[in-house]
Structure 1
Amino acid sequence: MKTGLSTYAYFWRMSEKVPRPMSLYEAIDDSRRLGATVFQICDYPPIADRSAAELAQLARYAQQAGITLELGTRSVTPQHLQRYLAIACELECALLRTMIAAGTAPVDAQRGVESVLPRFEQQGVALCLETYEQVATDDLITLVQAVDSSRLGICLDPANCVASLESPAEVVAKTAPYVLNWHVKDFAFSRRDGWVGFTLAGCPLGEGLLRYDEIWQRLQPIERGINQIIEHWLPWQGDGESTCRAEAAWSEHNMRYLLDKQNTTTVSSPNPGGANYVC
């Protein structure tokens, strides 16, 4: 098991809303400073425009920093997955997280996955379907069970499913046997002005509704080699400076929270590195 951050933990600092967005190299450096050993480049379209030489350079940089890279995208169309499998191989990633697009028929999603999965198996790259509000968790589980491959599983993010009125606890319980990757972020509801409705937003780990200890016990990430990837749902704080400062503080707090939790467990892992990469 490895613990680290995603580009979603640098969402604002890497965005065009700040005067000088952070680069991937800078985000990797910062994640190393915080104690991360894995960094997930997730939903970062510019990665698809980089040449093989540029991707190899990025992979070497991460390796020298002691950081394992993972990759994330959206779509289960065969062409898209093949393209991102090639990128994953260039980056020496052992895991690609993706999402089924809203409105995709279950049969089409399954066909798309099945058509490319032999290549994933051959290259030693796991494909993870993320839980989120646009696709019922039961449908994800049905697909994973039907395909029945050790290289196909679920990227668990229980916070995402709240918007479709799925209970996070139920999502965890259902998906636990199939989880290969865990997106860790805390969240909370707050009343809108005038008490008209609620806002669902992120918060630092340990301050919201995420039942972290219960999820840990259910998943057994050390024994199963499930990497923990920190993300944020940080609302814009009114200006770039305040937002970037808050985002940095959340990243530092959340990494410290996970590392402290990790240091208190006495469970040993037979597979500390996660999936085996053979590209």
Structure 2
Amino acid sequence: MTRYGTDVKLADGTSSAWGDPLEMLDAVRDFGLDGINLRTLDELSPTLDPGFLGEWASHARDLGLYVEMGLGKVNPYMTAELPRVRDLGEGSYLAGMERMIAVCAEHGWTNTWTALGGYKGQYDGLYITDRFRAEAPWPDQLAATAKFLHRLAPALREHGVSLNLETHEEATTFELVRLVEEVGPDVIGICLDPGNMPVRGEVPDEGIARVAPYVRSTQLRDAALLRTGDRISRFLAPCGEGIVDWDAALRSVLTLNPGLNLTVEPIGPVRAEMPILDHDPVWLASHVDLGADELDRLRAAADAYASRAAAGEVDDLEQLRAVRPAKAAHHDFLARSVAHLRATVAGLAPVPSPA
């Protein structure tokens, strides 16, 4: 049976959308969900306090909730932005990650999240993602990430933990698949977020097909695309209200991964507008795997979305750029997404259970 959950981000041990960490579990269950993907373990307990984590894990089990935990980022060029992980390792970021892997395994949280970079909303253009850090060409960042993942792999194998690379806004699905295959799909998988794929010039339906064999977890959103001046802008949208073909996507990933949890990553007051710089020569040179035909299909998807918006079927540019009350927007985005996913799954042919 397919289970549905929500991604939760904590700030200093609390979540404005759900309450404190223990209240959060009850609130998620009361919302009608089956589990959570929590980023990250060190946000839940900065010291990895065994008493608190044991109580929290026990409460999640009592409520019948699945838990998928995050472990921080794995790109050595940006891990200095996460000092708490290094603190857990008493000066070693690697040791901090290994400690969190062991704690997750102790509680049965063997499906874990990571990404290669972070969103830099204070900047514009190329510098909104770590892909274009001026001090490190992206191929160097990918090579360093692969080396770090190789160093993490023994701990992941020892504890039976899968570390899943999110289809985040800085990396293409081509690059993520290569990392999975290089380090080993027994310990490295994919966390599927289709909403980010257009930021890297990818049509979500094709990106999903590329990563489908390796998807182990999800943070599901849709993508709304509109032309804004000389660029296309990506906005996050509830599942079913953007350009993703959810019937094809879920059929693909659930057929290959029948036990997959469908976790939604809601968004609060704004829809995270990000540019697709498909006419910028630096941007284009960085996307060596993309063909012109895929970018053409992405532009066509933007035009098709604009037609739907003009017909009042989906949010238009003004609505996508509107600022909403944070908690209400978060819960509305989640409810609409889960309703669409449930309806889509119900319409699929039965997916075989794991052997």
Instruction: Report the TM range for the smaller structure's normalisation.
Output: 0.7 to 0.9
Cα deviations by residue, 1:6-47 (Å, 9 ceiling, x for unpaired) = 11599xx924xx9xx722223322221233222110247522
CA distance in 1, matches of 2:95, 2:115: 15
Cα deviations by residue, 1:70-91 (Å, 9 ceiling, x for unpaired) = 1124322633431321332344
Cα deviations by residue, 1:224-271 (Å, 9 ceiling, x for unpaired) = 3222110123434656xx332222222222223223333343414423
Pair 1:217 & 2:251 matched: yes
Unaligned runs of 5+ in 1: 273-279
Pair 1:27 & 2:24 matched: yes
Secondary structure of 2:32's aligned partner = coil
Partner of residue 333, structure 2: 250
Pair 1:100 & 2:116 matched: yes
Secondary structure of 2:5's aligned partner = strand
Matches within 5 A, 1:107-126: 107-126=143-162
Aligned CA distance change for structure 1 residues 158 and 250 (closer, same or farther; 3 Å):
closer
Partner of residue 283, structure 2: none
Pair 1:81 & 2:97 matched: yes
CA distance in 2, matches of 1:264, 1:26: 34
CA distance in 2, matches of 1:9, 1:35: 20
CA distance in 2, matches of 1:223, 1:135: 23
CA distance in 2, matches of 1:99, 1:47: 18
Pair 1:259 & 2:257 matched: no
Partner of residue 354, structure 2: 271
CA distance in 2, matches of 1:26, 1:149: 35
Aligned partners of 2:267 and 2:333 also within 8 Å: no
Aligned partners of 2:185 and 2:214 also within 8 Å: no
Q: Could you tell which deviates more after superposition, 101-110 or 223-232?
A: 101-110
Instruction: Quote how far apart the aligned CAs of 1:199 are.
Output: 4.6
CA distance in 2, matches of 1:144, 1:174: 12
Secondary structure of 1:229's aligned partner = strand
Partner of residue 175, structure 2: 139
Pair 1:179 & 2:177 matched: no
Pair 1:60 & 2:58 matched: yes
For residue 7 of structure 1, what is the amino acid of its counterpart? Answer: V
For residue 169 of structure 2, what is the amino acid of its counterpart? Answer: E
Partner of residue 72, structure 1: 70
Instruction: Quote how far apart the aligned CAs of 1:140 are.
Output: 1.5
Aligned CA distance change for structure 1 residues 174 and 191 (closer, same or farther; 3 Å):
closer
Instruction: Quote how far apart the aligned CAs of 1:95 are.
Output: 0.8
Instruction: Quote how far apart the aligned CAs of 1:217 are.
Output: 1.8
CA distance in 2, matches of 1:44, 1:211: 32
Identify which of structures 1 and 2 has the higher relative contact order when contacts are C-alpha pairs closer than 8 Å and 6+ apart. Answer: 1
Unaligned runs of 5+ in 2: 75-92, 118-129, 131-137, 271-321
Partner of residue 228, structure 1: 262
Aligned partners of 2:254 and 2:351 also within 8 Å: no
For residue 25 of structure 2, what is the amino acid of its counterpart? Answer: I
Secondary structure of 1:225's aligned partner = coil
For residue 5 of structure 1, what is the amino acid of its counterpart? Answer: T
Partner of residue 47, structure 1: 44
TM-score by length of 2: 0.65
CA distance in 1, matches of 2:64, 2:256: 19
Aligned partners of 1:34 and 1:255 also within 8 Å: no
Aligned CA distance change for structure 1 residues 197 and 223 (closer, same or farther; 3 Å):
closer
CA distance in 1, matches of 2:160, 2:40: 21
What percent of counterpart residues are identical? 23
Matches within 5 A, 1:128-167: 128-167=164-203
Secondary structure of 1:184's aligned partner = coil
Secondary structure of 2:177's aligned partner = helix
Secondary structure of 1:134's aligned partner = coil
CA distance in 2, matches of 1:123, 1:45: 18
CA distance in 2, matches of 1:197, 1:109: 30
For residue 74 of structure 1, what is the amino acid of its counterpart? Answer: G
Secondary structure of 2:219's aligned partner = strand
Q: Could you tell which deviates more after superposition, 36-45 or 65-74?
A: 36-45
